[in-house]
Amino acid sequence: MRRREFIALFGSALASSRAARAQRPAKPKIGVLIISNKEPFWSLFRKGLREVGYIEGENIQIELRSAEGLAANLPTLAAELVRLQVDVIVATPTPCVHAAKAATTDIPIVMVAAGDPVNTGLVASLSRPGGNVTGTSSAASEITEKTLELFREILPSMRRVAILVNPPDPFAKPFIEHIERAAKTMSMTADIYMIHAQEELDAAFAQISQKHLDAVVLQATLPRKQAADLAIKYRLPITCTASRFTGDAGGLLSYSFNIEELYRKSVVYIDKILKGAKPTDLPVQEPTKFTLSINLKTAKAIGITIPPTLLARADEVIE
């Protein structure tokens, strides 16, 4: 190559590099899509970001969009984040991840605690996600089986369990499959109740009580506090795979992934993506820590005695 041609080529490349830097935002922009502000996500997420060196307003921008509990709002909110040209979208729970994926095939998406991301079509596999989605899953199948085992410890005679399902949630079908498979291995039967609207919960619990079913398992994206209150009203033990279900919600029992662990793992992935990593090269991570929580106040209200051996194993006992 001649010297004059080399100088011209070098000058062109330098100009392009400067133009690219000029177009790059001063601070990376993170879009956050959640179902409700009542979830613990927001405070824990910002804490996780600070742990890896990102502080809102200083070296990152955050665009938070909440559906305020209404899943029907998610497609519009996801499309808004895409229009804002965020650098990465963080989404939780499962319906939010699906809304984000439907809105973009270009912007990287980091899911947090998504339910069965392979069977719901979010990723091709855990080890090789493909596409623009990666993050953490909730290990739903293992948690579901363990939850029924814990219920059996409390109620050795338990044979029939009611399953309350949220049909619009993409995880609904795998959720039913996990429950039915686990129930079958334990010689139980599962009665499925599809809850299409919040108002249907009252009628569902009335039927469950009339049928003398032994316990209730709630899908995490249904109204937890209302379901827990109805369970106490009808003196029914209830559980949910969501963390903190036994706290303010008042559920009897929860066995769930450690949410802080999954938030930390997700934040690490955000950092890697902002530094140039591609979602397809980052395997989906599953939880390694789980939390068993028991609410003795609820147990007393419905007339159930928790075995001392189970209380001894609990990570949290609410009295």
Q: Which of 104, 90, 124, 36 is nearest to 263 (CA)?
A: 90
pLDDT band at 20 (very low <50, low <70, confident <90, very high): very low
Global confidence as pTM: 0.83
SS3 letters across 258-283: CHHHHHHHHHHHHHHHHCCCCHHHCC
Q: What φ, ψ does residue 34 adopt, rounded to 5°? A: -130, 160
Contact 85, 108 (CB under 8 A): no
In the predicted model, what is the mean pLDDT of residues 10-20? 41
> Domain 140-257+291-318's class?
alpha beta
pLDDT at position 39 is: 66
Whether 6-138+259-288 shares its CATH topology with 140-257+291-318 is answered yes
pLDDT at position 226 is: 95
pLDDT at position 10 is: 38
pLDDT band at 138 (very low <50, low <70, confident <90, very high): confident
In the predicted model, what is the mean pLDDT of residues 216-239? 94
Q: What φ, ψ does residue 156 adopt, rounded to 5°? A: -55, -25
Whats the size of the chain, residue-wise? 319
Query: Buried b / exposed e across 266-288, counting CB within 10 Å, b at 16+?
Result: bbbbbbbbbeeeebbebebbbbe
For the chain, the domains span 6-138+259-288, 140-257+291-318
Amino acid type, 60: I
In the predicted model, what is the mean pLDDT of residues 228-240? 96
CATH superfamily, with its number, for domain 6-138+259-288: Response regulator (3.40.50.2300)
Residue 11 in this model has a pLDDT that exceeds 90: no
Query: Buried b / exposed e across 241-255, counting CB within 10 Å, b at 16+?
Result: bbbbbbeebbbbbbb
In the block, which residue shows the tokens 């409390």? 154
pLDDT, tens only, 38-91 = 667 777 888 889 999 999 989 999 999 999 988 899 999 999 999 999 999 999
Percent of the chain surpassing pLDDT 70: 91
Q: Which of 290, 292, 282, 315 is nearest to 136 (CA)?
A: 282
